[in-house]
Amino acid sequence: MTTKKPSLAAALRQKSEPKDTMPISTRTEPAEAIVSGNRTTTTAPNRIGKKSITGWFDAEVLKQLKMIGLEHDMSIQQMVGDALNDFFAKHGKSQIAK
């Protein structure tokens, strides 16, 4: 008689399941469901109503941003928000980047 070993996929799935996290169904803040084509995704509550702004720069730009962020205890998002607000002020617009 041989005993069947658990499948690798089942073992990996069990290993990757968080042990002490709260299930999604018990969240206190609702996430917004977004339907796009055949896919439905949820948006984190702090991202509802916001849009991503991206750009492609040399690797040195990211490295320098990270170094400044460490020196000033700031995230890249905070630094980009500050830069955008400076740009808006320069052009006579409201400083609305948060």
Domain edges within the chain = 21-90
Question: Is the pTM value of this prediction over 0.75?
Answer: no
Indicate the Cα dihedral angle 67, 72, 77, 82, nearest 10°: -120
pLDDT tens for the 98 residues of the chain, in order: 666 777 887 777 777 766 555 555 555 566 666 666 777 778 899 889 999 999 999 999 999 999 999 999 999 999 999 999 999 999 999 999 98
Nearest to 44 by CA among 25, 23, 61, 30: 30
Q: Tell me the torsion sign for CA atoms 69, 29, 47, 34.
A: positive
